[in-house]
Every structure is written in C-alpha cells, then in structure tokens.
Amino acid sequence: MLTRRHIRVKVMQSLYAFWRNDNSDTAATRKFLDKSMTDMYDLYLLDLSLFVELKNYAEEYLQKGKTKYLATKEDRDPNFKFVENPLITRFENLESLNDLLEERKLFDWRKESGYVQMLWNDIRKSDLYQEYTATRTGSFEEDKNFLIGIFKEIIAPNEKLYDYFEDTKLTWLDDLPIVNTAVVRTLKKTKENTPFHLPRLFKSEEDREFAFNLFQRTITYDDDFEKEITDKTPNWDKDRLAEIDLILIKMAICEFIYFPSIPVKVSINEYLEIAKEYSTPKSSVFINGVLDRISKDYDKRGILNKSGRGLI
C-alpha cells in the first residue's frame, strides 16, 4: 500500500520533528516514524469498516421504517439493495479485516455513530442512491461502481468526517489523500469470483527497511551532508533556506551514497515532486540545481555507489 514516495514523505516528517526537537531522542522519533506509518494503515482499515457500519445502520433504519404508524408503501417494502451489496458483505465477513480491527481496537464508528448516521442520510438523499435503488437487483459491477461513487462523492469530501480524522490523529491529515486513493483502488480491483485479500502496509520487508535506514543514515551523516550543501551553495545563507528543502536535499544525498539500487534520477525526481507539495513554490527549482551539482560532482569523484544499468 505504501509506495516509496509515501515512505519518503513519512521519513521527511519524522526528520523535521527530530531536528525541531533539538536532536532530542533518535529512538523516540524512530518510534514516531513507525507509528505514523502504522496509523496510516489504521485509517485505511477504518475506511473499509465504515462501509460495514453504514450497511448495519441502513438495515436498522429500513427495518424501523416498516413499523411506522403511517408507513408508506416504500416503508413497508423497503429496497435492501444497499444492505445486500456483495462487496460490503465481503468486508463484513473478511476475517483478516475483523481481526485487525479487534487487535488495533479500531471501534471508532461504534463510539462515533453520529458520523455513520450523518453519512447514511447524505447517501440516502443522493442521486447516486436513488439511481442505484431504482431496481432491486443488479450486476457486481453496478454494486462496485455505486460504492466507488458514494465514497468519492459523499464520504471522502465530507468536511465533518475530515475534521474528525484531523482531530483524532494529526498525521492522518496528510494520509487522507493516500488512503482515499487506496480505498478506491481496493474497490476497483475487487473481482466477483476472486477471493479478496487486504493489501499489506509495505509491499515488502525491503520497503520497511528502506524507511528506517533512510531515517537513521540521514541523521548519522547529517554533518557530512550539511557540508556538501554548504559547498554547493556558497551564496546562500543556511538560515534562510527552508527547513524542508534542507531535509529533502540531505535525504537525496543519502540515497545517492547509501542506496546503490536506487537510480540517481529516481531520487532527484522523487524529492522534486515531494518539494512541490510540501515546500515553497520555488523549492523544486532550487533543490534540482543543488542535487544536480552534487550528483555530477559525485560521479566525477567516483563516490556514487550505484550498481546495474541506468542507475546514474
């Protein structure tokens, strides 16, 4: 689920916290890095479980409607198409999901049922729901596209839900776009006759090691990286450089030297994209210039320890 770019962002945030706290405690910041990545996975699990809670609430709502004193024909014979959506049923019966929710004590929607009620009311009144329940049967693709639609148009953009996530865990604010994309991808990839498996947080153990090695080595060799930046930017006052820019440049230098399997161009492109999102408008131009000079200098001096074709 986590791509290398996501991992780099998490490391950047952890390094920023570390240096902001006056180099206080490497072990504590490393735990923060680990927790911020794990917390992101918790947000993903909560989003999937939200479909189940919406289904449960909808079923209760429709059943209660049948007992109204002045029940309409629709109340007496409600359409349970949403309640019986086969994708939600898969999530509801998925042992691995239920185990993780239990293990991580992710019971938010039981404690915060008001959000479930709010979202159900928005869904029930939407054109998407009216079109979906215009019939009582449909195809698996229709069921899937309906869930994708309500997630993208009703659940993900909901400001009150956004505020709840932000108040619950500060790191979730940056995680939401990544997690929302992962949820949509999960729904799109689900096939009618194929068993569903939860994606792992890391694609491989190598990615997990990459996160912690990048974090630790950037700290360990900080003085060396600082000197390289100073040498390549003689006309810049270090105190006037954006902190995020310095961190991104140091991380890239770390990859140049200590991660032989990552091409130089990949490292540069990744940090330029991160700078565009997390730093100043001019940061990517500045970072590109510094990294270009450093990588060319390293190449001439034989410092680049890259193996394989296309890695320079």
Q: Containing domain of residue 247, as a range?
A: 221-301
Query: Which residues touch 154 (CB under 8 Å, ≥6 apart)?
Result: 119, 122, 123, 126, 128
Shared domain check, 229 and 159: no
If one counts the domains in the chain, the total is 2
Pick from 217, 209, 252: nearest CA to 232: 252
84 and 149, same domain (yes or no): yes
Each residue's pLDDT tens digit, 240-287: 678 999 999 999 999 999 999 999 999 999 999 999 999 988 899 999
Task: With respect to residue 11, please indicate whether it lies within any of the assigned structural domains.
Answer: no
Task: Note whether residue 17 is domain-resident.
Answer: no
Q: Both 31 and 172 in a single domain? A: yes
Contact 116, 59 (CB under 8 A): no
The answer to whether residues 172 and 275 belong to one domain is no
Average pLDDT over residues 83-87: 96
Structure tokens at 279: 């730093």
**Judgement on whether residues 146 and 250 belong to the same structural domain of the protein:** no
Q: Could you tell me if 184 and 43 lie in one domain?
A: yes
Q: Is there a single domain that holds both residue 168 and residue 94?
A: yes
Q: Can you give the pTM of this predicted structure?
A: 0.88
* pLDDT confidence band for 232 (50 / 70 / 90): confident
**Does residue 171 surpass a pLDDT of 80?**
yes
Average pLDDT, the chain: 92
70 and 176 inside one domain: yes
